[in-house]
Structure 1
């Protein structure tokens, strides 16, 4: 399968560099570019990419608003935010908007490629430089009042898997802890996300923290 990618950044040299890195990969195709958020929304609708690489600060409609609009229109599109800024507010807002990954522009090319492939698989990748910001952003939020929506639909095993996802475990690590095959672990993960109406693993982490199912270690 070829991963179709849209580049959204207001700097033409940045887009040229990203295109060069990505088109060197056999399984990735850059299908279009956008210089602002409004064009990113339009291009996504027209080109139907699998993954959008989205800058945050762009003229007019910024990347956060564009992310929210793209995800609302087509939840299957994955957004990887690529920015020079690592403030907690940007990380938190980008993830809440529906982003499936967050990388700084200083990340090495192989990290960028890894993030796109992870997003395409329905997983998530956060730059190590912003991991602390993510923990601070979500672990410090008081749990929402009332029972977590959808939690009662999970089986005991699926509830266990949700807690493993909140700890950041991969499918292989989930399989090892449950002593099952990786394919079985993947099925459990998919069912958890489906029953809770979550886009991917990173939003399972947000769900768990926001509802007090796990706390900071």
Structure 2
């Protein structure tokens, strides 16, 4: 029995590759094919094709290029994430501070990766977003948001979001640390809490604010002024 004929392991992550560079898709496909818990179920060379394929293919995680013909990755991500129960999207960028990265996160992406990401980091990122975590390194988050600070509210403005008032003091504290890019484990160590307790707090924050994942927490925290670019962290 060949590997392709062997039974698929439970919980296998179904991945879609969306990029107009065939060689890049081939490289990613080879890396993913070697993993027992992943499989590439679809590919597309542009956003229009990706949307068409998704109508008939179940996908868990999408690796999405931003610069593509017909429909770019940001708008494609926005349309995908507007659908009920959408797959997770990881934006692929050429540069660490690609101007599309922040737009991709706002559009609903769960994080972004450099196209030359080492295989181990690529696989870890796919598994992380599949499990509901964000993939934006703390240092990159801060530099990204510092760069795009002019697009965000003035530091003199008070936090504005009608649901922020529903958060407890502890939840606001956790939210601010999430916004700085800290993992649940790092937040637990900082606040002297168990990781399970932090995960519970994060879940309540997402529910109260109507947010999908940690990346949306980061964006909202900066947009509302709860955390200032260049300030905390």
Q: Under a length normalisation based on structure 2, what TM-score does the superposition of the two structures give?
A: 0.84
1:99 and 2:109 correspond: yes
Task: After the TM superposition, list the runs of 4 or more consecutive aligned residues in structure 1 that deviate by more than 3 angstroms.
Answer: 85-88, 127-133, 137-140, 143-146
Q: Against the structure 1 CA distance between its residues 111 and 197, is the aligned structure 2 distance closer, same or farther, given a 3 Å change threshold?
A: same
Structure 2 gap segments, 5+ residues each = 1-10
Q: Is the 8 A contact 1:56 1:63 kept in 2?
A: yes
The SS at the match of 1:126 is coil
Q: Which residue of 1 aligns with 2:153?
A: 142
The size of the alignment, in residue pairs, is 217
Higher helix proportion (structure 1 or 2): 1
Task: List aligned pairs for 1:198-213, cutoff 5 A.
Answer: 198-213=211-226
The alignment's TM-score, normalised by the length of structure 1, stands at 0.90
The answer to whether the Cα contact below 8 Å between 2:16 and 2:59 also exists between their aligned partners in 1 is: yes
Structure 1, residues 115-163: CA drift from partner, whole Å, max 9, x if none?
Answer: 1112112211136895465122444422477732311121222112111
The residue number in structure 1 matching 2:201 is: 188
SS in structure 2 of the partner of residue 79 of structure 1? strand
Could you say which residue in structure 2 is the equivalent of 1:59?
69
Aligned counterpart, 1:70: 80
State the structure with more CA Rg: 2
User: What's the counterpart of residue 168 of structure 1?
Assistant: 181
In structure 2, how many angstroms separate the alpha carbons of the residues matched to 1:147 and 1:54? Answer: 31
Give the gaps of 5 or more residues in structure 1: none
